Chains A and B, each alone.
Chain A
Amino acid sequence: MSELSSLSIAEARDALRRGDVTAVELTEACLREIEAADALNAFVHKTPEIAMERARAADAMLKEKGDEAPGMCGIPVGIKDLFCTEHVPSQAASRILENFRPEYESTVTAQLKAAGAVMLGKLNMDEFAMGSSNEHSVYGPAVNPWRVDERLLTPGGSSGGSAAAVAARLCLGATGTDTGGSIRQPAAFTGIVGLKPTYGRCSRWGIVAFASSLDQAGPMTRTVRDAAIMLQAMAGHDPKDSTSADLPLPDFEAAITGDIRGKRIGIPREYRMEGMPAEIEALWKQGAEMLRDAGAEIVDISLPHTKYALPCYYVIAPAEASSNLARYDGVRYGYRAKLAKGEGIVEMYEKTRAEGFGPEVQRRVMIGTYVLSAGFYDAYYNRARKVRSLIKRDFETVFADGIDAILTPATPSAAFGLGEMSEADPVQMYLNDVFTVTVNLAGLPGIAVPAGLDSQGLPLGLQLIGRPWEEGELLNLAETLERAAGFVSKPEKWW
């Protein structure tokens, strides 16, 4: 493992500013790591030319601006394939976007670029961000750099490539997106930090939509501080996204003071699921104790509608997805099926979508179409919307009662083996999101922090959920947790 690619963003930033290292050197180090890591299948479109060009530009910016250069200047990052990147393949890990090269750059990646960040390439993911294992990808699964036996493990999903790349030190940070846990679950599975900001904090413009009311981009990094630095460049109001919040952007890194005294941390009793592994339960308890030791007050709270969150999510997200994915019809771009003589537009739609979408996407499009159809709309979609507002109210109530943040496990288990779930009922896979979907439904910020290893030696994460727009405070709490947990383990390089 290259020393350079193992630097944290904060360390690299300081080294760049001091002139101890150049962006070109950092980038070259990462590119070497990427070249040697094909076994992880994390980077699916490599962009070394763009990377070197941006690295040189970043060095120029650093020279010109010195300490005034943005925190991300010269930092090599990976970009989830869900983000549209100008003239670079952007296909949401789907066959239906085969050969699609957008003529535009998503707001988030454009902001990273403007801040001097160096794009190394595009990262693997579950197709259209639908999945928890990265197994639903046209590129094949990304592989978790952690392994304890001969089994290959999932890096989680949908931002599995991002998580694997960051954990394997192929890049210093990566963009992810999170609709039901797609940043936090893979972060927990790979022992890194994943932050899903408040809905509306980062622009959705130029990110391939999965479920518009839930999707949110966020940073995936190796430290909490790095998440703060990277979020600073990704976030901000965008008039091109009507759901993006027109709020001033605080200095997220400055919010990390290490002082959490007097903060009230809620422990929701409804998250104590039946059949929860004892080590998860123990880790959760330890996390609470660490925060208490740092001066926070631990409070038992109730979020009574939690048990409805998963079914509610699996109505709303597919409903929106079924509509959002209607545009992939073979008419204007992407994949178009070959037609037999005499076949018309209906056959073109049917064949294109049957051949272009993988089974999980097809399943969700069908679920979504069903729950929105006449006669079922009220029973499913409308009901789910009502449940969603109740879930949101649960959080509002505890925050109004003075709770500053909520601590939960990030996932119900550590990473599982690739292929292990392939025969299982899809609902088993959906259960991976049980601790994370509530946060998306309520539009809140949530962060997964690596907190320990399970008995096999695989990373486990804890999740902190914050008040809306209080990412700074959330990061501060997370950094305390990170420090107290002292998670320093790294995957052994086997690839």
Chain B
Amino acid sequence: MLDLSFEAPKPKVIAGAKHDWEMVIGLEVHAQVASKAKLFSGASTQFGAEPNSNVSFVDAAMPGMLPVINEFCVEQAVRTGLGLKAKINLWSAFDRKNYFYPDLPQGYQISQLYHPIVGEGEVIVDMGPGIARRVRIERIHLEQDAGKSIHDMDPNYTFVDLNRTGVALMEIVSRPDIRGPEEAAAYVAKLRQIMRYLGTCDGNMQNGNLRADVNISVCRPGDYERFLETGDASHLGTRCEIKNMNSLRFIQAAIEFEARRQIAILEDGGEVVQETRLYDPDRGETRSMRSKEEAHDYRYFPCPDLLPLEIEEEWVEAIRASLPELPDEKKARFVSQYGITEYDAGVLTAELANAEYFEAVAQGRDGKIAANWVINELFGRLNKEGLSIEESPVSAEQLGGILDLMAKGDISSKIAKELFEIVWTEGGDPAEIVEARGMRQVTDTAAIEAEVDRIIAENPAQVEKAKANPKVAGWFVGQVMKATGGKANPKAVNEIVAKKLGL
């Protein structure tokens, strides 16, 4: 059994002026499919290109242009669905969502309202060792992204960049299973991690490749449980939707603010108005974008330019067979295979590249020591330098070499750290460096004994002190280490010093 068992976290409770409150959160995450071409046109999706350079006739909605589905994007959606243990719908269909906006050239977004490609699934959101929230996924559908309107470049005009228009997005819709701001952020982080493992979305939130809309309401303790039992949403409060956040920090802050805003309204005897809101990170608050009355009537209807999307069971199974080991399984395996803590396993599996690095180091070595070195020395140093694992100057092979020298007793852990520093800055084969620079640990007891004898002979006063207070033996150990340039095996030095001093 590779699954780790866990308990659900306690919901976040906010103490109001009158009583306690809880919150109920559901998320719609928009993940850009890691595809070189757009969902319905062959245009490039390359980020940062000159404005309006990645625009085909289809993207610009020229008259008579027609969408053609990009099969690769479909595959990525299926892959994501399988990664979230979700039902894959062999029959799905595209609908048009109609609204006018200058960065939406067609006047509609092609999406999947009625028949999404992926149905129900779940995500385990880790909230600490042994604690995790099971968040149910309602659906994942494929849709086109819109372009970008730039309002602040000219006082009289709005500029439109259509590079993003038509880029494939997966909208991942959760059930209202999330019970706090930290959980919401952790949920998005977990989705990001899984999709990065799958290679279906690069998860780059800064570039907007992963964005979230948050639905949040507040209720009294016990209400949520009543809702779960009955399925009756009237036990929950009126929700507001906070649109389009592209940072985990903002998601957390926006939820925190929004929950308190709603609580304040309710405790004042007011009513929360269902509406769409925007989070302003500069002021740390949400503000109304449009009310329910102003909500668009999207006039969804099946897109007549596209046939229903029918996929074969065998194709889905082939994708399933090609899935990599996912974070939860990898973490559980690391705990059982390498005997490391769940916490360390979590750190090591956060990114696939980290996990692969660790496994390369741990292969045939002591897993715990490997984990320590990778997490403390390597990650510590990478963090300090702001480098990614791919940019690490020390390869897994080199780090493994350092650990091997330590395991053989050729170097002490202290020397190992120096050696790590040399490899980091200068590169090279650790064993050769040890040889060339005479860093090998002295384990020759005769040589150590001679050194100990000399120091005892030269320091009679210290000998007396040591006999009265055995802790002073450490001074002798230190002298020996100093005299040998740190290369003496500390264990051997300890033993010999104790013996010679008669302790």
A323 touches B107 (CB 8 A): yes
B62: chain A residues within 8 A (beta carbon): 84, 102-104, 333
- Taking A242-B68, A326-B100, A369-B299 as contacts, is the C-beta distance between A332 and B106 under 8 angstroms? no
- In contact, B64 and A209 (Cβ under 8 angstroms): yes
Tell me if A's interface is mostly helix, strand, loop or mixed. loop
State which residues 284-320 of B face A: CB under 8 Å.
297, 299-301, 304-307
Closest B residue to A349 by beta carbon equals B100
Collect the chain A residues with CB atoms within 8 Å of residue B300's CB: 372, 377
Q: In the complex, what's the smallest C-beta–C-beta distance from A242 to chain B, in angstroms?
A: 5
Docked pose: A373 CA to B64 CA in angstroms: 25
Distance (whole angstroms) from the CB of A362 to the closest CB of chain B: 15
What is the CB-to-nearest-CB distance from B490 to chain A, in angstroms, rounded to a whole number?
72
| Residue B372 CB within 8 A of the other chain | no
A236 to nearest B CB, angstroms? Answer: 15
Question: Known contacts being A102-B62, A104-B57, A241-B66, is A327 close to B107, with CB within 8 Å?
Answer: yes
Q: Which of B57, B60, B65, B307 contacts A243 (CB 8 A)?
A: B307
| A406 is an interface residue with CB less than 8 A from chain B | no
- Nearest Cβ on chain A to B53's Cβ, whole angstroms: 15
Q: Is A219 an interface residue (CB 8 A)?
A: no
B158 within 8 A of A: yes
Kindly report which residue of chain A lies nearest to residue B55, judged by CB atoms. Answer: A332
In the complex, whether A39 has a CB less than 8 A from a CB of chain B is no
Interface assignment of B98: CB less than 8 Å from any CB of chain A: yes
Closest CB-CB distance, A109 to chain B, in whole Å? Answer: 11
Interface size counted on chain A using CB atoms at 8 A: 43
Is B105 touching A106 in the complex (CB atoms < 8 A)?
no
Contacts of B299 in A (CB 8 A): 322-323, 369, 372-374, 377
CA distance A241 to B108 in the complex (A): 18
Tell me if A106 and B64 are in contact (CB < 8 A): yes
Shortest CB distance B99–A (Å): 9
Contact of A326 among B66, B68, B106, B305 (CB under 8 A): B106
Interface string of B422-464 (1 = CB under 8 A from A): 0000000000000000000000000000000000000000000
Is residue B369 within 8 Å, beta carbon to beta carbon, of the partner chain? no
With the chains together, A369 CA to B100 CA distance in Å? Answer: 13
Contact of A205 (CB < 8 Å), options: B65, B69, B100? B65
**Chain B residues positioned under 8 Å from A242 (CB to CB):** 66-69, 305-307
Q: Is the CB of B96 within 8 A of A332?
A: no
B61 CB-CB contact with A under 8 Å: yes
Q: Which residue on chain B has the smallest CB distance to residue A91?
A: B63
The minimal Cβ–Cβ distance linking A491 to chain B, given in whole angstroms, is: 32
Q: Determine the distance from Cα of A90 to Cα of B57 in the docked complex, in whole angstroms.
A: 15
CA distance A141 to B69 in the complex (A): 39
Q: Which residues of B contact A327 (CB under 8 A)?
A: 61, 63, 105-107
Contact (Cβ within 8 A) B68 A207: no
Rounded to whole Å, the gap between the CB of B68 and the closest CB of chain A is 6
Contact present for A204 and B66 (CB under 8 Å):
yes
Interface centre among A207, A369, A372, A377 (most CB of B within 10 A): A372
Whether, in the assembled complex, B266 has its beta carbon less than 8 Å from a beta carbon of chain A, the answer is no
Task: Note all chain A residues with C-beta closer than 8 A to B63.
Answer: 84, 90, 92, 97, 100, 102, 208-209, 327
Bound state CA distance, A208 and B57, in angstroms?
13
- In the bound assembly, the distance between CA atoms of A213 and B93 in angstroms comes to 15
Query: Which chain A residue lies CB-closest to B158?
Result: A345
B11 within 8 A of A: no
- Do B105 and A323 have beta carbons less than 8 Å apart? no
User: Does residue A111 face the partner (Cβ distance < 8 Å to B)?
Assistant: no
Which A residues touch B160, using CB under 8 A?
331
Point out the residues of chain B lying under 8 angstroms from A213, CB to CB: 304
In the complex, are the beta carbons of B301 and A372 less than 8 A apart?
yes
Q: Is the pair B107, A326 in contact by a Cβ cutoff of 8 Å?
A: yes
Report Cα–Cα, A323/B299, bound state, in Å: 9
B208 close to chain A: CB less than 8 A? no
Q: Which residues of B contact A106 (CB under 8 A)?
A: 64
Residues A211 and B61 in contact in the complex (CB < 8 Å), given A326-B106, A372-B299: no
Selected from B57, B69, B305, the residue in CB contact (under 8 A) with A212 is B305
- Taking a contact as CB atoms under 8 Å apart, the answer to whether B68 and A332 are in contact is no
Q: Within 8 Å of chain A (Cβ to Cβ): is B102? A: yes
Given A326-B100, A329-B100, A345-B158, answer yes or no on A319-B66 (Cβ-Cβ < 8 Å). Answer: no
A381 close to chain B: CB less than 8 A: yes
A50-87 CB contacts (< 8 Å) to partner B: 83-84
Does B100 contact A373, Cβ atoms closer than 8 Å?
no
Known A-B contacts A211-B304, A331-B160; the reply to A323 vs B98 at CB < 8 A is yes
B64, A372: Cβ atoms closer than 8 Å: no
Query: How many Å from the CB of B191 to the closest CB on chain A?
Result: 30
Q: Is the CB of A326 within 8 A of B301?
A: no
State the Cβ distance, A45 to closest chain B Cβ, in Å.
Answer: 15
Q: Which of B361-403 contact A (CB under 8 A)?
A: none
* 18 chain-A/chain-B pairs, Cβ below 8 angstroms: A97-B63, A102-B64, A204-B64, A208-B64, A242-B66, A242-B68, A243-B305, A243-B306, A323-B301, A326-B100, A326-B107, A327-B61, A327-B105, A329-B100, A331-B102, A374-B297, A377-B299, A377-B300
A-B complex: 6 closest residue pairs judged by Cβ atoms: A326-B107, A212-B304, A372-B299, A213-B304, A327-B61, A206-B64
Known: A345-B102, A377-B299. 6 other contacts (CB 8 A): A104-B62, A208-B63, A319-B301, A326-B100, A373-B297, A374-B297
